[in-house]
Amino acid sequence: MLKLLFVPYRRCTRRMMTTLSQTKELFRRAEAVCFDVDSTVIKEEGIDELAKFCGVGDAVTEMTRKAMGGSMTFKKALTERLSIIRCSREQVNKLITDHPPQLTPGVRELVDRLHELNIKVFLISGGFRCIVEHVATQLSIPLNHVYANRLKFYFNGEYAGFDESQPTAESGGKGKVISMLKEQYGYETVVMIGDGATDLEACPPASAFIGFGGNVVRPQVKERSSWYVTSFGELLKELEKI
């Protein structure tokens, strides 16, 4: 009797078929480039910095590592980390004022060049919109090109949770945002750049994924990236071929 072996479909199948040269070509002709923010556009993980500022850094950093490594669903990790931090509106504002996010070297030049080439730039983050908007402003990225999680506060400024309806609050949320962008703007070629598992899983629907290890190297992301870079200068160099 002939036995058929059914191999379950894995989302990485199409991504692994993209070669290095194909990924570079897709990047050169991209209509839009989407960046992760924490540990990609900026040097730090925003939620870890917020936790340190609120005095609960160690407990939250370990959860972030698990979330970015893919061993815990993103929403579960986000919920648990925020339940430990319980930051007030005042604390968030003070963090941004006293410890503003530090841009990764080369990202400003890369975003400027993309803008010069009329390639649209978006920030898609599992971090917090109040912090990501600050980063977007530094890079001259329109605020309507920012997709991130929203913290909620009571009238007295105390922590009241986060907006769970945002796509970025879920595992797979970055892919949902990219699908929406393609539908809304008619983009055919969208490239995702990031350091973590949630960025990797956004391709597809992203046309290509570029792994970034300039701030932290996540082995499972490096292994599954057809193009993995450790500086934004490598991407700038590729754009010179246009």
> Is 195 among the residues known to form the active site?
no
> What SS3 class is residue 112?
helix
Whole-angstrom Cα distance, residue 77 to residue 169?
10
**Kind plus residue range of the DSSP H or E element containing 97:** helix 89-98
Whole-angstrom Cα distance, residue 207 to residue 160?
37
What does R_g of the chain's alpha carbons equal in angstroms? 18
Give which of 201, 130, 139 is closest to 170, Cα–Cα: 201
Q: Which residue has the tokens 């340190």?
A: 52
> Is 38 among the residues known to form the active site?
yes
Whole-angstrom Cα distance, residue 50 to residue 53?
5
**Any residues with CB less than 8 A from the CB of 158 and at least 6 apart, and which?**
86, 88, 89
Instruction: State the amino acid at position 190 in one-letter form.
Output: V
Catalytically active residues, by annotation? 36, 38
